[in-house]
């Protein structure tokens, strides 16, 4: 047990006792090694479970008591107002200002942090321009390098290197929905940089490759093809290109991509150059892309699960897409998804985590928060009063199910012994569920007064974790900053009325 410490990434395997206490854990192991561990654990459990069980429990309780749990803190108003600067400062410390993104090894899209920085720029226009340049650089790198499929679009899960050159080839619905929404928001802030077009291409990928027949969106495309070859559906050989294209078209790509210099047998397609002003090159590029899209490539299997929270993210992206483009087609698609969510994920007043599989998994706070937010956004965009009522009911239910003793719980009944919940939930691959739920209340035109009062009491609160590691709490920090700004504007307006 002494070696079970710290944090780990994916895949994380933890073996627990029947009472829920961790016995041991590790990350990736090859199949043979994993099987050997299973055999040894089974043998040890059969022989020594009476001694292993109390050791696991004692270790867990010792670790819990020795760790400083997240606690609420009080700060003077002037210090609270500086917390946004602290978040931005820590984000910029972790940022790669040469290649975009955060960190200097493998790179993730880091949507919550990018979205929080985007909000910070909107909230404080005088913010150092270096912050805006970092966000723009990251958005440009995500879309023009190998994190995005340059042919059929859609973003891969992450880059295994700091240069955005070698992706992990899985395509997740939640990544693509969040990034599509982010690019539409970026277009509003910096019009004319092509961000909305990237958002529309991402929506197009979602509709073409992840749409389910019944109206929802499926979870992901696998990183490996049907023959277990990683990324096979995205690689091209010179022979494939020659077979699909005319000599003129192939020579164009050969010169543009320096194919003769490529040492590998197969390679990812790189971005095409900006077309010339007379349009001839643009037509050639479009012809090449059309032909390559028609080539039958290895099938990348689809994870056909349809999840509530991820479909909420998809609805958010579609609403923002429709607001930008205003097309009837996008309006129909977003309305169809809203109807799907209302009919498939909300049954007998309860949220179902997997569409059509009510008994498969317990619903989480994330499901309620993402659905409520997206439905509220849909209500604001369409003027649908019933949609806002539905969003409000979901928020109220979320409070009833997941908010106890002034803390948030991710599950209705936690499987973790001694789980005391969190005052503020941190950002992960998705924005904080507590922040998103509370933001939904702030967006409502006709909120229930008791619900609004309850939310307004929670939004400004701070924890020690938020102060010490603000990078992981950007959504909650920005929400609190927006709330304080609105409160200050309201007070100023009241003063102006009294002085007249």
Domains and CATH numbers, the chain: 13-67 (no CATH), 73-223+302-496 (1.50.10.10), 232-293 (no CATH)
- Residue 68: predicted pLDDT: 47
Rg, the chain, Cα only: 25
Q: Where are the beta strands (DSSP E) in 60-214?
A: 72-73, 158-159, 167-168, 171-172
Q: For the chain, which residues score pLDDT lower than 50?
A: 1-5, 65-69
- Residue 87: predicted pLDDT: 95
Nearest in space to 313 (alpha carbons), one of 440, 430, 178? 178
Distance separating alpha carbons of residues 341 and 361, to the nearest angstrom: 17
Distance separating alpha carbons of residues 206 and 200, to the nearest angstrom: 10
Measure Cα distances from 420 to 69, 207, 209, 407 in Å. 10, 40, 41, 8
- Residue 44: predicted pLDDT: 65
- Residue 263: predicted pLDDT: 72
- Residue 385: predicted pLDDT: 95
Give the pTM: 0.88
Question: For strand 462-463 and strand 72-73, is the pairing parallel, antiparallel, or unpaired?
Answer: antiparallel
């Amino acid at each position: 047990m002494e070696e079970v410490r710290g944090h780990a990434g994916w895949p994380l395997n933890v073996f627990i006792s029947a009472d829920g206490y961790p016995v041991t854990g590790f990350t990736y192991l090859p199949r043979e090694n994993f099987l050997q561990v299973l055999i040894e654990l089974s043998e040890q459990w059969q022989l020594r479970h009476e001694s292993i069980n109390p050791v696991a429990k004692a270790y867990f309780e010792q670790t819990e008591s020795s760790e400083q749990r997240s606690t609420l803190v009080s700060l003077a108003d002037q210090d609270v107002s500086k917390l946004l600067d602290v978040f931005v400062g820590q984000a910029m410390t972790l940022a790669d200002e040469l290649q975009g993104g955060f960190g200097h090894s493998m790179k993730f899209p880091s949507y919550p942090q990018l979205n929080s920085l985007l909000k910070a720029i909107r909230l404080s226009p005088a913010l150092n321009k270096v912050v805006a340049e970092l966000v723009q650089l990251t958005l440009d790198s995500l879309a023009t390098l190998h994190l995005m499929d340059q042919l059929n679009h859609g973003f891969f899960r992450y880059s295994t290197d700091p240069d955005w050159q070698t992706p992990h080839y899985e395509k997740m619905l939640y990544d693509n929905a969040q990034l599509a929404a982010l690019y539409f928001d970026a277009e509003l802030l910096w019009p004319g940089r092509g961000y909305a077009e990237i958002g529309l291409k991402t929506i197009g990928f979602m509709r073409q490759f992840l749409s389910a027949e019944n109206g929802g969106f499926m979870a992901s495309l696998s990183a490996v093809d049907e023959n277990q070859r990683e990324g096979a559906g995205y690689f091209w050989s010179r022979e494939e290109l020659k077979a699909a294209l005319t000599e003129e078209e192939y020579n164009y790509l050969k010169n543009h991509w320096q194919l003769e210099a490529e040492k590998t047998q197969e390679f990812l397609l790189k971005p095409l150059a900006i077309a010339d002003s007379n349009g001839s090159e643009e037509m050639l590029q479009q012809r090449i892309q059309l032909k390559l899209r028609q080539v039958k490539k290895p099938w990348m299997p689809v994870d056909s699960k349809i999840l509530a929270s991820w479909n909420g993210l998809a609805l958010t992206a579609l609403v923002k897409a429709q607001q930008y483009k205003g097309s009837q087609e996008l309006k129909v698609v977003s309305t169809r998804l809203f109807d799907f969510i209302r009919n498939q994920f909300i049954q007998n007043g309860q949220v179902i985590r997997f569409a059509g599989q009510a008994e498969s998994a317990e619903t989480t706070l994330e499901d309620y928060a993402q659905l409520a937010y997206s439905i509220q956004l849909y209500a604001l965009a369409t003027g649908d009063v019933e949609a806002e009522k539905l969003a409000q009911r979901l928020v109220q239910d979320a409070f009833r199910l997941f908010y106890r003793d002034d803390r948030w719980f991710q599950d209705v009944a936690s499987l973790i012994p001694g789980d005391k919940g969190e005052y503020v939930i941190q950002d992960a691959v998705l924005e904080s569920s507590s922040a998103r739920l509370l933001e939904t209340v702030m967006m409502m035109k006709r909120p229930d007064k008791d619900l609004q009062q309850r939310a307004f009491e929670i939004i400004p609160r701070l924890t020690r974790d938020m102060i010490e590691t603000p990078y992981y709490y950007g959504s909650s920090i920005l929400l609190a900053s927006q709330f304080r700004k609105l409160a200050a504007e309201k007070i100023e307006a009241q003063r102006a009325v009294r002085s007249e």
